[in-house]
Structure 1
Amino acid sequence: MPEKAFQLRCGGAPAVDLHPDVEFVEVDDSVDGSFFTVRLRLTAGPDGEWSHLSDERLTPFAPFGVDLGFTGGGGPAGAVGGLLGGGAPGPEPLAEGYVVGATVRLTGRDAHLDVFGQDPWAVLGQEEKAVAWPDLADSDIAKQILEAAGFEADITPTAPLREAAGTTVVQRGTDAALLRAIARRNGFEVRFVAGKGPARCRFGPPALGGSPQPDLAVRFGAAGNLRSFEATLDGRLPLAVRAEQVAPETRGTAVAEAALPAQRLTGRTTLADLAGGALARAVRPLRAPGTLLLTATPTADPSELSRQAQAARDEAAWLVDAVGEINSDAYGHVLRAGRTVLVKGAGSLHSGLYYVTRVVHRMRPTGEYLQRFEARRNAVGLDGTEAFGGGAPGLPLPGL
């Protein structure tokens, strides 16, 4: 059985001197951002000072990283550079960002320091601005913001290019708020992905393609690796989106409609297939059952109105939310947010492809490794393309 391992990094350098005092390491990684907590034991010196409290590496906005995962060896837990086990290839980068604060707790029996950190969203949310962004597409705005902040990025181009004579994007808030807003209206995610080197930002649609991560299996006998799995299907979601606005130049009404999801489906049956007929019989729709009227960002370009309507339709298509807890000893891999995974053993309706949106990792030096995850689907059932039994751990996202 591979050994579990963690590695702390301060300013890009291994911080092995901190490892003996680690009680646990936790990384909350999601498509919306990642946070981490490191709990360190404190000891009092003869001068009455506590260890770690004056460590400059643990002060706010000091660079900090967390690697976590498995080694290739199966030897007893030991100290090779402060890690558990001694094999290769070792843990993988899971969080890359900055210390943002700490909590000291002193009791009669215990003394510890909880160090809190966040990915680069921490620095992008520190300054509110009023800035105009003329003659740019949303992807160009994202590229300029990220490059000005010193980050490398994988940018999926967007259209249209907004000419100042028609529409100009005006930022009134932080860079973080603007990046999230322009990503949302394009149906994109904007997230920082830890890797070998500085975290890079991905501005693009959900990564639903490529090879899934190793399978998750529930109630699957000796091959099972899930302690629990729960899937919730919500039928009260929009089945179509309609956007209307007054065109700035012609004063006429511009209309955009999106009836079907445009992104890859994770199964065979969408909510419209599952419940559209029953809903149409139960209500008297004005146009179509389950229609969402969208208040879109004003624009002089009809294609942008269509893009916003489609983005809202794609978001509304996620009809299943799943949560689960992994038996990490049986799984033997690090599940990553922002990638797909196949679930088996949940029946023909709920087995299949899921998009992982959040994973909370917690590891102790004793070797205990907990992984709790959240995932979702925009269609249920099996579509016949599932290749169960495969999986590609550790593959980077496209472009990263």
Structure 2
Amino acid sequence: MMGPTVAVPVPPFVLEALERVEVNHGDEGRSGFQLTFQVGRSGSGDALESPLLANPLFKPFNRVVLLVTLNLVPSVLMDGVITNIQFSPSDQPGQSRLTLTGEDLSVLMDLEEKRAEHPAQDETVIALKLIASYAQYGLIPLVIPPRVLDPPLPIERTPVQTETDLGFLQRLAARHGYVFYLQPGPAPLTSTAYWGPLRRFEPPQPALSVNMGMATNVSSIQFQYDALAQSTFAGKVQDRQLNQTLPYETFVSTRLPPMAAMPAVVAQLPYVRKQRLDEGGGLTYTQALARAQGRTDASADQVLTATGELDVSRYGALLQPRGVVGVRGAGHLHDGIYYVKRVTHSFQPDEYKQRFTLTREGFGSTTPVVRP
């Protein structure tokens, strides 16, 4: 579906020319898509320009909605806008290509840098307010309050925004180890604007199976353990309420539920990286400790990483990013539950594959079995 603001189904000749689709989803940064079309001229009516290039649907910042139906269930794969148009003409028949590259609707939140004040509003209220200002694009807010809330009193401090709305939302989220992203759906022309912690409590998706004979559904998978990823943080803060300088320190990740039986912060003692973190003024001890804990949690997410590729026809479902999935067949150290950090969809008329990135905080499975 394509259109200036409200996308509509495209004409049949556009679908017939579509050669390749790639969609990239992650919990950091903006998601994106790329559509590759075969273009050409077929008669005197195309003497001036190819019908695709002249089509008003193919304009910068036109909206693009991609839907895929698997096992009779439709899913919204992408809701975004065109940001780049590349044309590669060729003197060989049928070899000219038109490539449309775009990003999800969060790119519209990243166009204007602002300087704005948000008096008497904590992070949750600010997130809800900024997301609501883009309601015309079908954004549905899903904002999870952080564990520590401290509404700013105007006589003490005022939150100030000095970047784009997207940058400000991501900065507020990073303070608590949270993420902000747009997830397309649940219905066409809508997107869920999520501001909150990693969604580790989601029901596990069908397992990724490796080295299991006929049950194997993963084409390839590689695991990488980064012993330097885990960090703890310590510092001092001038508590604005007590008017005293207080030390604070973090020790372990508090992500729930835990996904590794041997988290790096325990398995690598005493070699865990310890960093200093000096927050600016205007904070309480509780706020400073919460921000340090958020950074500790975020560092733990990158300790054990798995990357690989699967064939959707063998997997039998769509692996969804920003949720959890089980891995089996790789041995006790690498089996178990992982958080799905990034998924790239790549499909052509004869195949549909997904590349994925999984993360967790260390070796060892916390469960004896995973969902098949």
Structure 1 and Structure 2 fold alike (TM over 0.5): yes
CA distance in 2, matches of 1:336, 1:193: 10
List per-residue Cα deviations over 1:259-298 (Å, max 9, x = no partner): 1211121121111221114x3xxxxxxxxx5322123354
Distance, in Å, in 1 between the alignment partners of 2:60 and 2:276 is 44
Task: Indicate if the aligned counterparts of 1:299 and 1:305 stay in contact, CA closer than 8 A.
Answer: no
In structure 2, the residue matched to 1:261 is 253
1:156 pairs with one of 121, 128, 144: 144
**2:310 paired residue number:** 326
Q: Is the 8 A contact 1:189 1:206 kept in 2?
A: yes
2:152 is paired with a residue whose SS is coil
Normalising by the residue count of structure 1, what TM-score does the alignment of the two structures yield? Answer: 0.84
TM-score, length-scaled by structure 2: 0.90
- Displacement of 1:161: 1.0
User: Equivalent residues in 2 for 1:374-385 (5 A)?
Assistant: 374-384=357-367
- Where 1:313 maps in the other structure, the secondary structure is helix
| Residue 183 of structure 2 corresponds to residue 193 of structure 1 | yes
Conservation of the 8 A alpha-carbon contact between 1:98 and 1:118: yes
**More divergent stretch after superposition (163-172 vs 346-355):** 163-172
The SS at the match of 1:162 is: coil
1:275 equivalenced with 2:268 (yes/no): yes
Q: How does 1:92-107 map to 2 (within 5 A)?
A: 92-107=75-90
Mark the runs of 5 or more structure 2 residues left unpaired by the alignment: none
With 333-342 and 289-298 compared, the bigger mean Cα shift is at: 289-298
Distance 1:297 1:107 in 2: 57
* Corresponding position of 1:222: 214
Q: Which residue of 1 aligns with 2:161?
A: 171
Q: What is the Cα deviation at residue 176 of structure 1?
A: 1.0
Contact 2:250-2:293 within 8 A present in 1 as well:
yes
Whole-angstrom CA distance in 2 between matches of 1:251 and 1:374? 45
- 8 Å CA contact 1:238, 1:292 repeated in 2: no
Deviations 1:297-336 (A, max 9, x none): 5433222112101101101212111100112221121111
- For 2:38, the equivalent position in structure 1 comes to 41
Displacement after TM superposition at 1:9 (Å): 4.7
Alpha-carbon distance in structure 1 between the residues aligned to 2:22 and 2:370:
32
Establish whether residue 180 from structure 1 lines up as the match of residue 165 from structure 2. no
Preserved contact between residue 173 and residue 195 of structure 2 (Cα < 8 Å): yes
Percent of aligned pairs with the same amino acid = 23
CA shift for structure 1 position 250? 5.6
Distance in 2, matches of 1:184 and 1:116, equals 28
Q: 2:7 aligned with 1:15, yes or no?
A: no
Distance in 2 separating the partners of 1:268 and 1:9:
47
Contact 1:231 1:323 in 2 (8 A): yes
SS of 2:31's equivalent? strand
Number of aligned pairs? 354
State the superposition RMSD in angstroms. Answer: 1.8
How far apart are 1:68 and its partner, in Å?
Answer: 2.6
Q: Point out the more displaced range, 252-261 or 91-100.
A: 252-261
Counterpart AA for 1:259: F
Aligned-partner SS, 1:146: helix
SS in 2 for 1:163: coil
* Deviation, structure 1 residue 221: 0.7
Change in CA separation of 1:95 and 1:298 when aligned onto 2, cut-off 3 Å:
farther
Q: Shift of the alpha carbon at 1:22?
A: 0.4
Stretch of structure 1 that moved more, 312-321 or 10-19: 10-19
Give the unaligned 5+ runs of structure 1: 1-7, 73-87, 280-288, 390-400
Residue identity in the other structure for 1:137: D
Counterpart residue number, 1:282: none
Cα distance in structure 2, aligned partners of 1:16 and 1:344? 44
Instruction: Give the secondary-structure state (helix, strand or coil) at the position aligned to 1:215.
Output: strand
Q: For 1:329 and 1:160, how far apart are their aligned partners in 2?
A: 49
